[in-house]
Amino acid sequence: MSRMTMLRLGAALCAVLLGGAAGAAAGIDRVEPPHWWVGMKSDKLQLMVHGDAIAGFSPRLASPGLAGVRLAGVRRVANRNYVFLDLVVAPRTRPGSVAIEFRRGLEVRRVDYQLQARAPGSARRASFGNADAILNLMPDRFANGDPANDNQPGFPDPANRADIDAGRHGGDIAGIVGKLDYIAAMGYTAIWPTPLTESRQDKYSYHGYAATDTYRIDPRYGSNEDYRRMVALARSKGVGVLQDIVLNHIGSNHWWMKDLPAPDWLGYGNRFVPTAHARTTASDPYAAQADRKNYVEGWFGSDMPDLNQKHPLLATYLIQNTLWWVEYAGLYGIRVDTFGYSDHAFLSAWSARVREEFPTLNIVGEEWSMNPLVVAYWLDGKRNPNGYRTSMPSMMDYPLNDTLRRALVAEDSLHSGLSHLYERLNDDMAYPDASKLVVFEGNHDIPRLYSILGEDLDLYKMAIAYLLTTRGVPQLYYGTELLMTSPTVRADGPTRQDFPGGWQGDRVDAVSGAGLDAKQKQAQAYVRKLLNWRKAQALVHSGKLMHFAPEDGTYVYFRYAGSGQGAKRLMVAINKNRKPVALDTARFAEILPRGASGTDVASGETYDLARTLAMPARSVLVLEVDR
């Protein structure tokens, strides 16, 4: 074959390889992140490129390139089907396409990588805080707005609404969109859906915590663009969206699992070893190293491979994935699943990097421990004896959740019942700022509140009133306002039952009220009243808290601000007794103005507080104190 013939064949081959649409070319399966933005705080960008034997190619930026972008480094791993590119995107780079060529002899593979403009004000975005009330919902079980997407080609685990425990029921993004007006009217200002990213698992895929593609919304929920539109529409209605991020693990059907980048990409050298869930090992000064290793590297199950964030390329991948979703979707905040299970140095780096890029973004982590010291360990500003620090602004307040549930059903004594709830707040000394914690009555992992309270509507109202007036950011679980029930021990399926009215043909509809019984309507109205009232209550958002030791089944606390004539007061009184009581208000003289009266938020009734507060049996009063 002549040299000219060889050149012609080479040119033809290049033409074939370059002839694809913008993005990944033939021989390149994935480039992640799928695109990026100019004007980010950090000028560094790592691209993970996956393709057949791609490590054997020499990458370079095609000329003429996009001004301000350069290739700073190329890193290869054990698997020759991966290569990692380190790009530098100068601060004043303009949006555009970066042509990246991969050459091996005459063979050329090319990627046209997009750098987009950021949304105005993205870096210092509005985010959730004490003025918000968050609704936790499970998309698959919330509402089915598009039955046509219930099953998808190539996806196992078909829809089966009859299977309460494990089946997919068909809820989706369109369903959430259809309920946004209801959510806003109830008084919620933020929603936290459980993960919507692709979960191509063989079973139990509905919960979403075993992702198989962290850059893609599961098509049974909708598309990435559907998700972004939902976030924007929700925001226009006064409702922000928190994304549930999983840093610790992936699903066993993740595309990586067929072609792992490195022998240490997963915990225990890519080998299944179950975690013992020993949460205290993170902070325990006496913990064995083997136990600490197991907590961080152990797998939740064989279907949830544990990620090894000690691997620097994986650590950067996960950090960029979070940043990508915040910027792409316009998120209002982040909730981090199984926070402490990830490598602890990585968690410090991850939280610092996210807050560097988005300084005003709020993030709440899950540490499922009833020990305030264990929860506090992860918070920004916490001075730990071992010197460990993160930049996490908030954690879920599991200790208070557990105590509230127990206190309302326990017999009242010196250290149980309401006294237990009173004493729990003493543990706030463990936190840098307890007001930043997310307080909650329930979520998708624990039995429903109404069932735990023995289906007692009076106790339920006490729990709701306490949640919405104590310190912290309140979060409720979907269906709590409808007195939805579950077993009193953990049973995921029944705890995650379908939201009434979310499916065509439902006999009961939360929005219209059809099929709701009298107690459900009363509970729904009570939650709606308090949530909407709370929106404008700066006293509850940022006021100080003073409480008085419980006596004889009663508990009183105040939220307050200012002093003298300009002072503002909110009085919350709980009476668990099965008979009316008269509280001597002289006991509260240091905070309650002489001759004051108070108007109950729920009923509008005014109570004379000059000498006594007459409380009905089994009641809670949220009183706006008149000066």
Considering its fold, how many domains does the chain have in total? 3
What kind and span of H or E run contains 599? Answer: strand 597-600
Q: Of 337, 441, 481, 498, which one is the catalytic site residue?
A: 337
> Is residue 146 flagged as an active site residue?
no
Q: What's the mean pLDDT in 514-527?
A: 99
* pLDDT above 50 (res 17): no
* pLDDT above 60 (res 230): yes
Running DSSP on this structure, what letter comes out for residue 114?
E
CA atoms of 176 and 194, how far apart (whole Å):
12
The band of 13, judged by pLDDT with boundaries at 50, 70 and 90, is: very low
Indicate whether 465 and 340 sit together in one domain.
yes
Q: What's the mean pLDDT in 175-198?
A: 99
Last residue of a domain, one of 506, 536, 566: 536
Q: For 42-67, what is each residue's pLDDT tens digit?
A: 999 999 999 999 999 999 999 888 99
On whether residue 463 sits in a domain, the answer given is yes
Indicate whether 173 and 98 sit together in one domain.
no
CA atoms of 54 and 155, how far apart (whole Å):
28
What kind and span of H or E run contains 454? Answer: none
On whether residue 82 sits in a domain, the answer given is yes
Indicate whether 548 and 530 sit together in one domain.
no
* pLDDT above 60 (res 604): yes
On whether residue 23 sits in a domain, the answer given is no
Last residue of a domain, one of 536, 553, 580: 536
On whether residue 404 sits in a domain, the answer given is yes
Q: Spell out a b/e string for 533-558, using b for 16 or more CB atoms within 10 Å of the CB, else e.
A: bbeebebbbebebebbebeebbbbbb
Indicate whether 207 and 59 sit together in one domain.
no
CA atoms of 314 and 321, how far apart (whole Å):
10
Q: Domain with 576 in it: what CATH number? A: 2.60.40.1180
* pLDDT above 80 (res 532): yes
* pLDDT above 50 (res 5): no
- Domain extent, residue 155, equals 133-242+313-536
25 forms beta bridges with none
Q: How far apart are the first and last CA of the chain?
A: 100
Phi, psi of 36 (to 5 degrees): -145, -170
Determine the 3-state secondary structure of 398 from DSSP: helix
On whether residue 384 sits in a domain, the answer given is yes
The band of 21, judged by pLDDT with boundaries at 50, 70 and 90, is: very low
The band of 1, judged by pLDDT with boundaries at 50, 70 and 90, is: very low
Indicate whether 486 and 573 sit together in one domain.
no
Indicate whether 65 and 185 sit together in one domain.
no
Residue 565: per-residue pLDDT: 67
Indicate whether 617 and 578 sit together in one domain.
yes
Q: What's the mean pLDDT in 106-134?
A: 98
Indicate whether 96 and 169 sit together in one domain.
no
Q: What is the pairing mode between strands 363-365 and 333-337?
A: parallel
Indicate whether 100 and 157 sit together in one domain.
no
CA atoms of 444 and 403, how far apart (whole Å):
18
Q: Domain with 158 in it: what CATH number? A: 3.20.20.80
* pTM for the full predicted model: 0.95
Phi, psi of 404 (to 5 degrees): -60, -45
114 forms beta bridges with 97
CB 358 within 8 A of CB 125: yes
Indicate whether 548 and 513 sit together in one domain.
no
Last residue of a domain, one of 485, 512, 536: 536
On whether residue 72 sits in a domain, the answer given is yes
Q: Of 146, 213, 366, 498, which one is the catalytic site residue?
A: 366
- The residue assigned the tokens 């598309």 is 223
On whether residue 305 sits in a domain, the answer given is no
Indicate whether 377 and 490 sit together in one domain.
yes
Determine the 3-state secondary structure of 168 from DSSP: strand
On whether residue 291 sits in a domain, the answer given is no
627 vs 337, higher pLDDT: 337
> Is residue 427 flagged as an active site residue?
no
Indicate whether 559 and 492 sit together in one domain.
no
Q: Domain with 97 in it: what CATH number? A: 2.60.40.10
